[in-house]
Structure 1
Amino acid sequence: MDIKIRKLLPNESNSYRVLRLECLKNYPKNFTSNYQDEKAKPKLLFQPYIETSDLNNFVIGAFQNNNLVGICGFNRHERTKVNHSGIIIQVYVNPEYQGNSIGLNIVKSTLDEAFKINGIEQIEIDVITVNKNAAKIYEKIGFETYGIQNNFLKIDDSYYDHKMMMIFKNQV
């Protein structure tokens, strides 16, 4: 399987939107965003960043034959006292392509790009605890758990816990 991994280009904003909405629709327990809420927005969080090639906020994509099959976003914290850090969010690989280390590779590529940004020293990532495969990938890369937030998500009458993880530049 020939997969290319790179930053999304400005003209790929709509491809990102399609894949992002797909993941929210198909895996509601794995993401804090809600499909219906996001679908109603004219632009999703990363679309303006993709369209302007923002250096501090970007999406790494996995492509097969120019089709976007995986995404991983990086968002640098803006406030002065915390802008030495950022967060990886919206990690998703289309189910047809899961099990081929694509998730691992897009998270690693996102870390590589993020740590190139002047001043970035640490990066966090969060995972809903029922998403055990994602947690294993993050641990394999070197992320370490620093906390669990109980009952973080509430979907209907069910609650889901949230694992918070961190990696430092000198660990990569």
Structure 2
Amino acid sequence: MDIQTRKLLPNESNAYREIRLECLKKYPNNFTSNYQEEKAKTKLFFQPFIEESNNNNFVIGAFHNSSLVGISGFKRHDNKKTEHRGLIIQVYVQPEYHGKHIGLLLIKSTLKEAFKINGIEQIEIDVIASNHNAESIYKKAGFEAYGIQKNFLKIENSYYDHKMMMIFKTSFNE
């Protein structure tokens, strides 16, 4: 299966919106955002960044036959004291493409692009602790866990812990 990854282009903002809403609807327990709240917004978090081709905040897309099948967002911290760090968020691969190593390809592509940014030294990623598949992918990409936040999400009467992971530029192997 031929999968291509690249930064989303300004005209792909709506394709991003569709797949982002899809992931929130299909996997509500794996993301902090809520489908109904996000759907009501005129623009989702990354849409303006995609539309302006922002270099510090972007989305990498995975494409199969020109269809967007996966996303991985990068957000650079914007405070002077933390701008050496960034965060990978909103990672998603459509279910029919699971098991084809697209998640790992997306993460590595995102890391490669993010570490090109002048001054980026470390990147964090978070995962709901019960999402073992995602955690396994992040470990394969080189991330190491550094902490757990208990009861990070509360959905109805269930709590979900949050595992925090990090990778340094010096340890990233493409």
TM-score normalised according to structure 2 size? 0.98
For residues 42-53 of structure 1, the aligned pairs below 5 Å read 42-53=42-53
2:101 and 2:20 mapped to 1: Cα distance?
19
Whether 1:86 aligns to 2:71 is no
Structure 2 residue runs of 5 or longer lacking an equivalent are none
Where in structure 2 are the equivalents of 1:66-145 lying within 5 Å?
66-145=66-145
Q: Secondary structure at the match of 2:162?
A: strand
CA distance in 2, matches of 1:162, 1:77: 20
Q: Quote the residue 2:34 is aligned against.
A: 34
| Number of aligned residue pairs | 172
Across the aligned residues of Structure 1 and Structure 2, the Cα RMSD in angstroms comes to 0.4
Measured against aligned partners, the alpha-carbon deviations of 1:76-132 in whole angstroms (never above 9, x if no partner) come to 000000000000000000000010000000000000000000000000000001110
- Per-residue CA deviation, residues 11-38 of structure 1 (Å, 9 max, x unaligned), is 0000000000000000001000000000
SS of the residue 1:58 aligns to: strand
- The share of aligned pairs that are identical, in percent, is 72
1-structure distance, mates of 2:4, 2:143: 24
* Cα separation, 2, equivalents of 1:116 and 1:43: 27
Q: Is residue 154 of structure 1 aligned with residue 163 of structure 2?
A: no
Q: Specify the alignment match of 1:18 in structure 2.
A: 18
Separation in 2, partners of 1:48, 1:130: 32
Q: Secondary structure at the match of 1:139?
A: helix
Partner of 1:2: 2
Q: Which runs of 4+ in 1 moved over 4 A?
A: none
Post-superposition Cα deviations, 1:49-89, rounded to whole Å, max 9, x if no partner, equal 00000000000000111110000000000000000000000
